[in-house]
């Protein structure tokens, strides 16, 4: 009420920013966007009465009809104010002085209030690029740029994926006007999107020092940032503490972010607990996004049973699945290589009249790849092309990888060149996929050239692309050039994990234990000592240098401090690197001693790696060790049986079946049938 009184009786405060500044000096925190809405309402009411008074005078006059952009201006020579719907400049391709001169010629006073309204108009009508162009044109001029405009600009940049620029805008404006909760929320969201936890934590500290109270959006963004695998295992606990401190009630979005964080860490029990709390204790009803996030969490862990259960529950509550929800359900079956399961839901989407998406097709192709049926992935792709589907970037990249696994390097390169011709080489994934193809062929020159082409286009290298580059240089006896190249690529920004992991790989290839130790010390000093990927590279480097005991201790520390191996992707890479058939004993001892419970997918990875090496008895022993989790044990035994059948190892399959019987478990009928069919085939031969 006080604010409205100040606005209506505006003898001093001509615009929201001047009023907001006064309130701020008095210790009251009010954002300009809220004030702007009050100004706009007041102006619209005054304009309505103004138009009524003028209508009789304007009758029969040339100026009787006014456009929407000039409606509300007084016919008299009284003081001018910006209207609720501002005059919109025809062209923003000009300098700041030209823009201001043009507005003045149209009797518009170029104030903060006017430009804030104009920017709001651009964003609300979908003209995001014009909003950004206007903001850049004003060049951080404190006389013309309001804090509301800065928040709008940051939101527009975030929406366009230009996350690095959000940070730049914040740094350039924080001294101009005091950042509010909206500013910090967008900033934290940008840092979370980039995975830049250093700046995220810095933003949190600044928010606290500015005495800005976070809101539900801030909490959601924090969880989004820390939900990356290996970043912070207690992200949900931390978010709860913040919420409790500031008395912030969680909404469906906050619960969805928390569920997503648990899913990223493979914490399925945490997901279930949060879902129960949301629906029962908080009394909130999950929406389609929340349900899809739950399904994705189970899908990522390869838990098809719970993924289907949640899907059925969602539909029973009247929430209809869209194309993405069905794609995520297909992904659950793709993760375990169940092609038939993935196909079932692709057919279901077609039965419902839902248009099949490229994501669905790429998921089906992934199902073939996960089941080592790369030829099936290729056949699916060829069928799609024959039917006239324009396969997108994801589909083509998946098939490129399938051809690579099949050893058909010619077809893989053909797809890569097609993507080049179609202008689809837009990010690092396609380049790293093709670099892998060249590496498998031993084409070191081509690998190096492709990496150079990528960086020349302004695509920043990541850990994987640098690994291929460094190994190619090593094979060409040019390892000395690797350090020079890495330092050159990161000459402007060494504050990245990929820089330190690259130096660690170079030290490992040289088998230089001293350099490995020094690199880790330097990285720790630079603030990267707890980075999950660097720690993993350090353990592998120690192993390669023959320091097995030191590697084991480092692994134990890593598990104890961050539990980073709960991320299946990291677990697989490390397990492969330490040659699991040799190192599984001490690996298991570390996990057991620290009482770290790994997600199901990690045990599946160990089982798969043992099966690939033909160690079926040890794989069966691992499955039996989890008998307290009977569902997990049966799932691992099924993995062993399916793997044994693909290798025509009937003995391994039968032993897994026997173990299931000894433990009182009942394998699915299709598994028993598959073993019986294999026995029949072998008997016929």
User: What does the pLDDT read at residue 48?
Assistant: 42
Q: What is the mean pLDDT of the chain?
A: 78
Cβ partners under 8 Å of residue 354, min gap 6: 321, 322, 323, 326
Integer Cα distance of 533 and 44 in angstroms: 57
Give me the percent of the chain exceeding a pLDDT of 70: 78
Give mean pLDDT, residues 20-39.
48
Q: CA distances (Å), 455 to each of 445, 460, 473, in order?
A: 16, 6, 16
Please tell me the least confidently modeled range out of 209-223, 317-331, 396-410, 492-506. Answer: 492-506
pLDDT in tens, 197-233: 778 888 888 998 889 899 888 888 888 887 765 456 6
pLDDT in tens, 226-243: 776 545 667 888 888 889
User: What does the pLDDT read at residue 599?
Assistant: 60
Integer Cα distance of 231 and 458 in angstroms: 27
Q: Is 181 helix (H, G, I), strand (E, B) or coil?
A: helix
Residue 159 pLDDT greater than 90, yes or no: no
Integer Cα distance of 23 and 234 in angstroms: 39
Integer Cα distance of 170 and 167 in angstroms: 5
User: What does the pLDDT read at residue 574?
Assistant: 59
Residue 338 pLDDT greater than 90, yes or no: no
Integer Cα distance of 654 and 659 in angstroms: 9
What sign results for the dihedral spanned by CA atoms 86, 87, 90, 95?
negative
Contact 33, 119 (CB under 8 A): no
Integer Cα distance of 547 and 73 in angstroms: 80
Give mean pLDDT, residues 73-88.
47
pLDDT in tens, 448-500: 999 999 988 888 888 888 989 999 999 888 888 888 888 888 876 665 778 89
Nearest to 139 by CA among 152, 150, 129: 150
User: What does the pLDDT read at residue 80?
Assistant: 39
Integer Cα distance of 48 and 83 in angstroms: 12
The residues spanned by each domain of the chain are 1-61+80-161, 494-589, 614-685
Contact 581, 614 (CB under 8 A): no
pLDDT in tens, 522-542: 988 888 887 777 888 888 888
């Amino acid at each position: 009420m006080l604010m409205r009184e100040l606005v209506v009786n505006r003898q001093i405060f001509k615009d929201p920013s001047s009023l907001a500044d006064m309130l701020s000096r008095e210790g009251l925190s009010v954002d300009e966007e809220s004030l702007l809405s009050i100004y706009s309402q007041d102006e619209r009411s005054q304009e309505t009465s103004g138009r009524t008074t003028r209508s009789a005078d304007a009758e029969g006059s040339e100026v009787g009809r006014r456009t929407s952009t000039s409606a509300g201006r007084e016919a008299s020579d009284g003081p001018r104010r910006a209207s609720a719907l501002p005059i919109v400049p025809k062209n923003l391709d000009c300098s700041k002085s030209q823009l201001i001169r043009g507005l003045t010629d149209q009797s518009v006073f170029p104030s903060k209030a006017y430009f804030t309204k104009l920017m709001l108009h651009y964003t609300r009508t979908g003209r995001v690029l014009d909003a950004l162009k206007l903001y850049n044109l004003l060049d951080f001029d404190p006389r013309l740029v309001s804090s509301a405009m800065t928040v709008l600009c940051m939101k527009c940049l975030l929406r366009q994926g230009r996350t690095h620029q959000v940070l730049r805008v914040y740094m350039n404006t924080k001294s101009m006007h005091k950042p509010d909760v909206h500013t910090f929320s967008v900033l934290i969201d940008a840092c979370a999107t980039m995975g830049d936890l250093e700046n995220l934590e810095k933003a949190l500290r600044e928010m606290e020092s500015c005495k800005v109270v976070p809101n539900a959006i801030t909490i959601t963004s924090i969880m989004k940032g820390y939900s990356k695998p290996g970043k912070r295992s207690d992200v949900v606990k931390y978010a709860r503490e913040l919420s409790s401190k500031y008395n912030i009630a969680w909404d469906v979005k906050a619960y969805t972010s928390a569920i997503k964080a648990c899913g990223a860490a493979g914490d399925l029990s945490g997901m279930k607990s949060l879902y129960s709390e949301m629906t029962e204790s908080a009394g909130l009803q999950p929406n389609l996004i929340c349900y899809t996030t739950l399904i994705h969490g189970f899908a990522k862990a390869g838990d098809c049973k719970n993924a289907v259960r949640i899907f059925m529950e969602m539909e029973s509550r009247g929430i209809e699945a869209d194309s993405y929800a069905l794609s995520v359900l297909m992904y659950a079956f793709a993760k375990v290589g169940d092609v038939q399961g993935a196909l079932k839901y692709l057919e279901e989407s077609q039965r419902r009249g839902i248009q099949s998406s490229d994501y669905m097709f790429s998921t089906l192709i992934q199902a073939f790849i996960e089941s080592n049926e790369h030829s099936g992935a290729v056949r699916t792709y060829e069928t799609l092309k024959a039917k006239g589907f324009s396969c997108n970037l994801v589909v083509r990249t998946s098939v490129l990888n399938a051809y690579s696994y099949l050893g058909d390097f010619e077809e893989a390169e053909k797809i890569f060149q097609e993507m080049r011709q179609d202008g689809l080489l837009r990010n690092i994934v396609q380049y790293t996929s093709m670099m892998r193809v060249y590496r498998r062929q031993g084409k070191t020159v081509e690998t190096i050239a492709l990496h150079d082409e990528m960086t020349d286009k302004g695509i920043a290298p990541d850990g994987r692309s640098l690994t291929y580059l460094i190994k190619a240089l090593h094979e060409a006896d040019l390892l000395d050039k690797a350090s020079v190249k890495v330092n050159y690529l990161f000459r402007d920004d060494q504050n990245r994990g990929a820089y330190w992991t690259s130096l660690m790989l170079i030290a490992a290839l040289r088998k230089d234990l001293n350099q490995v130790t020094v690199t880790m010390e330097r990285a720790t000093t630079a603030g990267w000592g707890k980075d999950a990927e660097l720690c993993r590279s350090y353990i592998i480097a120690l192993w390669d240098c023959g320091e097995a005991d030191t590697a084991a201790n480092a692994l134990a520390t890593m598990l104890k401090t961050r539990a980073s191996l709960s991320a299946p992707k990291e677990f697989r890479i490390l397990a492969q690197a330490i040659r699991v058939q040799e190192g599984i004993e001490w690996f298991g001892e570390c996990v057991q001693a620290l009482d770290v419970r790994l997600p199901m997918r990690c045990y599946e990875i160990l089982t798969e790696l043992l099966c690939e090496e033909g160690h079926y008895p040890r794989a069966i022993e691992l499955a039996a060790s989890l008998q307290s989790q009977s569902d997990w044990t049966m799932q691992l035994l099924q993995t062993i049986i399916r793997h044994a059948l693909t290798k025509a190892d009937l003995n391994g399959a039968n032993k897994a079946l026997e173990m299931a019987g000894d433990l009182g478990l009942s394998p699915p009928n299709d598994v028993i049938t598959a073993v019986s069919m294999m026995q029949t085939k072998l008997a016929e031969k």
